[in-house]
């Protein structure tokens, strides 16, 4: 790889999507999510990352997008976080444009009214995001992106 390739690839927009199991006591979820989102917004803003965190049925599904180095450095930190485990990388690579550019990080939870989203992805009977393809995971997060009713957590974003 030439120096030019190395520089341009570190500046190219990258997107990474993973799924993980929450390891947070149910009664602590709201507080823990508040802390995660507050820290994420502050740190992601510093390094130009944007993204979306879906919180559903004991799972996290998160998209991170930005320069490759920022995405990978942040993902490595997230990997070590004891508030989740069983991280499964669903997709990572260059992207044409930001899909979640409105937020340095935003958490969304699904309600019963959002079942249509899960239906479309055959994830309603049992939510198993770790089985999604990279394209399926991106479709899921893009559908979630459009949800208009915001949770109280979103209010701090
Ligand atoms: C599901 C989940 C998503 C997270 N997303 C981010 C994120 O997008 N950006 C970030 O900086 N930290 C994120 N974190 C938090 C990091 O793991 C870490 O706690 C935080 O960056 C503070 O790191 P520090 O204690 O080294 O400053 C996330 C944690 C979890 C459990």
Given a contact cutoff of 8 angstroms between Cβ atoms, the answer to whether 111 and 33 are in contact is no
The C-alpha atoms of residue 49 and residue 13 are separated, in whole angstroms, by 10
pLDDT tens for the chain, 157 residues: list them: 455 555 556 569 999 999 999 999 989 999 999 999 999 999 999 999 999 999 999 999 999 999 999 999 999 999 999 999 999 999 999 999 999 999 999 999 887 777 777 777 766 677 899 999 999 999 999 989 987 555 545 554 4
Per-residue burial over 34-59, b if 16 or more Cβ lie within 10 Å, else e, is: eebbeebbebbeeeebbbbbbbbeeb
The predicted model scores a pTM of: 0.88
The structural domains of the chain, with segments of one domain joined by +, span 3-156
Taking Cα atoms as reference points, which of 52, 40, 72, 12 lies closest to residue 139? 52
With a 6 Å cutoff on the Cβ, whether 123 touches ligand 1 is no
CB atoms within 10 A of CB 79: 13
Tell the CATH topology of 3-156. Answer: Alpha-Beta Plaits (3.30.70)
Given a contact cutoff of 8 angstroms between Cβ atoms, the answer to whether 79 and 88 are in contact is no
Q: Which atom of ligand 1 is nearest to the CA of 64?
A: 8
**DSSP code per residue over 125-148:** SS--GGG--HHHHHHHHHHHHT--
Ligand 1 centroid to residue 41 C-alpha, Å: 9
With a 6 Å cutoff on the Cβ, whether 103 touches ligand 1 is no
């Amino acid at each position: 790889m030439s120096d030019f390739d190395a520089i341009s690839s570190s500046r190219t927009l990258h997107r990474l999507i993973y799924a993980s199991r929450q390891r947070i006591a149910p009664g602590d979820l709201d507080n823990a999510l508040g802390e995660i989102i507050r820290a994420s917004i502050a740190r992601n803003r510093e390094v130009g990352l944007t993204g979306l965190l879906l919180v559903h049925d004991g799972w996290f599904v998160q998209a991170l997008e930005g320069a490759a180095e920022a995405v990978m450095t942040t993902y490595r930190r997230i990997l070590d976080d004891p508030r989740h485990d069983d991280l499964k990388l669903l997709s990572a690579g260059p992207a044409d444009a930001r899909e979640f550019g409105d937020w340095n990080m935003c958490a969304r939870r699904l309600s019963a009214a959002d079942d249509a989203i899960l239906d479309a992805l055959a994830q309603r009977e049992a939510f198993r995001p770790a089985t999604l393809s990279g394209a399926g995971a991106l479709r899921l997060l893009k559908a979630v992106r459009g949800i208009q009713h915001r949770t109280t957590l979103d209010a701090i974003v």
